[in-house]
């Protein structure tokens, strides 16, 4: 009887210690855009931006992504396209005025996700995931920073890498 009780206790303890899901968010700003017309609110990527978008696809080549999100602007969609194509994933659009909603959290829980945004939305999105104001808006010419935010249960960590 003692052996059965001990076995049952160990089994319950093991089952209650199941590992928590890890969610990883990779957040980048769009690549370099055409800046010849200051009135154009939806410019395309310039040649350097197209190269950087391709380089991002190279960066993510050995990283399993479950989803790719982008705002609905030429420059963000063009930045996301090489990675999404390499991964054979659709580009899912998000509204930068509604970041990290309950629906988004549910849809991305336990997944590895790329999010392409803007200099004023990428750090804000990272902050919303972290639940604190850790990052300020990016410099207007910073197209190389990668915010990596990891969520495991209630623990949230982040770091920034730079792709040159």
Average confidence (pLDDT) over 96-103: 95
Tell me the average pLDDT across 103-128.
Answer: 98
Q: 83 is in which domain, residue-wise?
A: 20-162
Alpha-carbon radius of gyration of the chain: 20
In a domain, 2, yes or no: no
Q: Residue 11: pLDDT above 50? A: no
Whose tokens are 């970041």? That residue is: 99
How confident is residue 19, by pLDDT bands cut at 50, 70 and 90? confident
Q: Compute the residue count for the chain.
A: 164
Higher-pLDDT residue of 18 and 36 is 36
Instruction: Examine the pLDDT at 105 and tell me if it is beyond 70.
Output: yes
Domain count, the chain: 1
| DSSP 8-state class, residue 45 | B
The CATH number for 110's domain is 3.40.50.1240
Q: Does residue 113 sit within a domain?
A: yes
Phi and psi angles of residue 49, each rounded to the nearest 5 degrees, phi first = -65, -40
- Specify the pLDDT at position 12: 52
105 inside domain: yes
């Amino acid at each position: 009887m003692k052996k059965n009780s001990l076995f049952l206790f160990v089994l319950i303890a093991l089952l209650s210690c199941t590992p928590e899901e890890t969610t990883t968010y990779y957040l980048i700003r769009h690549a370099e855009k055409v800046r010849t017309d200051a009135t154009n609110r939806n410019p395309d990527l310039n040649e350097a931006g197209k190269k950087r978008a391709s380089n991002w696809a190279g960066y993510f080549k050995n990283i399993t992504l479950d989803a790719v999100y982008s705002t609905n602007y030429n420059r963000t969609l063009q930045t996301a396209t090489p990675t999404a194509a390499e991964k054979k994933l659709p580009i899912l659009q998000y509204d930068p005025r509604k970041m990290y909603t309950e629906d988004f959290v549910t849809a991305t829980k336990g997944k590895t996700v790329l999010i392409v945004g803007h200099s004023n939305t990428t750090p804000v999105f990272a902050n919303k995931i972290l639940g604190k104001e850790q990052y300020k808006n990016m410099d207007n010419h910073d197209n190389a920073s990668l915010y990596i935010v990891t969520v495991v249960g209630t623990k949230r960590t982040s770091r920034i890498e730079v792709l040159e």
